[in-house]
Amino acid sequence: MTDPTPAASVTERLDGLRTSIDDQGRRVFDLVLQAVEAYFDADVPKAEGVVRDDDEIDRIDVEIERACIGALRQRLDGEHEIRTVLTIVKVNNELERIADLAVTVAEAVIAGESTGPATFRVMANSVIGMLRDSIRALADGNVDLARQVLRFDDTVDEFKGQILSDARDGVAEDRVEIGVAFRLLAVTKAVERIADHCTNICEQVIYLQSGKIVRHRPEGWSEPESPA
């Protein structure tokens, strides 16, 4: 059955979806920022707030997904409109996963495990910057900013490697308890995964704006390729 909805309402629906995903991005950014601040300040009440606020992220995640299904039921006029909906579906999922990882960090605070070396602080602040720029690139359709985020992912991986190496050495030299090391590595992994989701968002920004596919290869990030 053909959807009789006029083209104007399609435009309005897509505009509404863009607004919703941009708002969700800012909401998730605030959640991650609160989680990291709680971790470094050992602020249990703030961490508990992060866990509570994740329920709102989940609720809006479902709303956006349902709205995307509604948009796909309409007659979308052109490839860019289709790419827009597909991008929003994928980014919506990435944002929900990022929020879950923020909860992982917050739960570590609640469990009394908020410790970490200076390298971890630098890593966490770098990932917050990546998330901020990813959300901005999505809102502005800024491909250049998206590419900058992709190029920074290797730096985050280097931070993670340094933290892993230091923790391993600390355990071997009896400077760090095994339990402390495992808890630090769990939080480090959560923050590193946030960076991975940021790169996924930026790949979608490039795809949305250009229709080109970004490839990640063993030797690092490469220029996007046209669809086969």
Give per-residue pLDDT as tens, 192-223.
999 999 999 999 999 888 877 665 544 444 45
Question: Of all residues in the chain, what percent carry a pLDDT higher than 70?
Answer: 82
Task: Enumerate the domain spans of the chain.
Answer: 7-221
Residue 40 pLDDT greater than 80, yes or no: yes
pLDDT of residue 144: 93
Residue 157 pLDDT greater than 50, yes or no: yes
Cα–Cα distance for residue pair 205/151, rounded to 1 Å: 14
The DSSP annotation for 25-77 comes to: HHHHHHHHHHHHHHHHHT-HHHHHHHHHHHHHHHHHHHHHHHHHHHHHHS---
Which has the minimum average pLDDT: 46-50, 81-85, 221-225?
Answer: 221-225
Q: Are the C-beta atoms of residues 183 and 177 closer than 8 Å to each other?
A: no
- DSSP code, position 214: P
Q: What is the pTM of this model?
A: 0.85
Architecture per CATH, domain 7-221, reads as Up-down Bundle (1.20)
Mean pLDDT, range 61-80, rounded to an integer: 85
Mean pLDDT, range 40-61, rounded to an integer: 96
To the nearest whole number, what is the mean pLDDT of the chain?
Answer: 84
Mean pLDDT, range 126-148, rounded to an integer: 95
Residue 4 pLDDT greater than 70, yes or no: no
Q: What is the pLDDT of residues 158-199, one digit of tens each?
A: 888 788 777 676 667 667 667 666 778 888 899 999 999 999
> Which of 2-6, 12-16, 17-21 shows the highest mean pLDDT?
17-21
Residue 26 pLDDT greater than 60, yes or no: yes
Residue in 36, 56, 38 with CA at minimum distance from that of residue 47: 38
pLDDT of residue 214: 66
pLDDT of residue 170: 67
Residue in 78, 60, 66 with CA at minimum distance from that of residue 10: 78
119 falls in which pLDDT band (50, 70, 90)? Answer: confident
Cα–Cα distance for residue pair 77/195, rounded to 1 Å: 34
Residue 18 pLDDT greater than 50, yes or no: yes
| The token pair that represents 71 in the structure block | 């948009």
**Residue type at 173 in one-letter notation:** E
Q: Is the dihedral of CA 83, 89, 91, 94 positive or negative?
A: negative
Mean pLDDT, range 53-69, rounded to an integer: 95
